[in-house]
Amino acid sequence: MIKSTYNKLKLERVHESLTKELTQSIRTMSSDELAMSVFGAQNSNLPIFEDELDVTLNTRGKQLIINGTEEAVLEMGEILSQLEQLSEKKIAIQPMDIINAIRLSKNDKLDQFIRMYEKEITRDYNGRPIRVKNVGQSDYFQAVKNNDIVFGIGPAGTGKTFLAVAMAVAALRRGEVKRIILTRPAVEAGENLGFLPGDLKEKVDPYLRPLYDSLYQILGVEHTGRLLERETIEIAPLAYMRGRTLDDAFVILDEAQNTTIQQMKMFITRLGFGSKMIVNGDITQIDLPRGTKSGLIHGQRTLNQVDGIGMVHFDSSDVIRHPLVSKVITAYEKQEKTGKENNEK
């Protein structure tokens, strides 16, 4: 019995050693442009692959020398094939594209990589296409197409606000709506509104700055200004929505985690004919006074099964900022989960 157990352990160790045996592959990029895109300036993109895939990379001209386990080298090859296909579509490869391909591969969804780039939402003021950046955004885009009200719930950096504004601009350009209305609750986060200078609009404008930034990036500052003057685009605090019915409009509520239950109900019931409504928020960043329930959390639970309302949940893998941001969010989520578990004991 002892000898049998020993032989079994020995075989397992031999198998483990074989599976970890290193192998090498040499991949030649199809063009200098592709090599530059994949490798990055002075090989700046290579550490992204090395950190995420546990491979060691070196370059020689257009050649990429890949060292790692057989599994890691094969995965690297599949990702490079997807990036090559992207390049063939005349789409310039950015570091974020590489990160997205790696994340999809880790989730066994690499086959969705190219399909994401076929969904062009609109173009910015320089004529550059705006597309979904990951699976979460793709689901979000589809949900808005299929529903009149959509909740986008997830951490900062997932592109919820920018993508919602891009879809609103696209709908306006196609003549599907007559105006865009963007709103946020003016919740005090460390500052007292009463001590800020100016009238109410001037006091809340800093809270609405991310919405302005998204519009400037898509439409340009001058065109955005003209549309604001004509009131084709309206940016206002949530309190301005009370008593209105919003027909033929694309309406976006940002930072919805800072609404009360009453405010959320008030906002949702403003929906008029020919309108779309998006509710975005991050339930981990609530600035409401202690004891006040978030309208986003309540709305999510209350409206989850209502036909015509879409619910899209983003997570840290959908973050489109620096890859370290995704790791930071994951670390905080893990810490919060551990804290809750300890409190329950």
Whether 57 and 152 map to the same domain: the answer is no
- Between the CA of residue 321 and those of 157, 209, 220, 260, what are the distances in Å? 6, 19, 22, 29
Contacts of 123 (CB under 8 A, 6+ apart): 129, 130
120-172 tens-digit pLDDT: 899 999 999 999 888 889 999 999 999 999 999 998 888 899 999 999 999 99
Whether 174 and 266 map to the same domain: the answer is yes
Whether 70 and 141 map to the same domain: the answer is no
Report the CATH number at residue 218: 3.40.50.300
Which pLDDT score is estimated for 6? 42
Whether 93 and 143 map to the same domain: the answer is no
**Are the C-beta atoms of 295 and 256 separated by less than 8 Å?**
yes
- Whole-number mean pLDDT of the chain? 85
Q: Is residue 2 part of a domain?
A: no
Q: Is residue 189 part of a domain?
A: yes
Whether 151 and 103 map to the same domain: the answer is no
Distance (Å, rounded) from C-alpha 345 to C-alpha 341? 7
* Higher-scoring residue by pLDDT: 236, 5: 236
Q: Is residue 129 part of a domain?
A: no
Whether 248 and 107 map to the same domain: the answer is no
Distance (Å, rounded) from C-alpha 108 to C-alpha 220? 38
Domain hosting residue 309, numbered range: 134-314
Whether 155 and 293 map to the same domain: the answer is yes
Whether 109 and 142 map to the same domain: the answer is no
Report the CATH number at residue 97: 3.30.1370.10
Whether 156 and 297 map to the same domain: the answer is yes
Supply φ then ψ for residue 35, to 5 degrees: -60, -45
Lookup result for tokens 């403003």: 270
Which pLDDT score is estimated for 126? 92
Q: Is residue 172 part of a domain?
A: yes
Q: Is residue 325 part of a domain?
A: no
* pLDDT at 343 exceeding the cut of 70: no
Q: Indicate yes or no: pTM above 0.95.
A: no
Nearest to 73 by CA among 37, 48, 93, 49: 49
CA angle 199, 202, 208 (to 5 degrees): 140
Total number of domains constituting the chain: 2
Which pLDDT score is estimated for 9? 47
Q: Is residue 7 part of a domain?
A: no
Whether 86 and 142 map to the same domain: the answer is no
Helix-, strand-, coil-residue percentages of the chain, each rounded to 5: 55, 20, 30
256-286 tens-digit pLDDT: 999 999 999 999 999 999 999 999 999 989 9
Whether 152 and 252 map to the same domain: the answer is yes
Q: Is residue 333 part of a domain?
A: no
Whether 287 and 193 map to the same domain: the answer is yes
Tokens matching residue 285: 């960043």
* Higher-scoring residue by pLDDT: 223, 318: 223
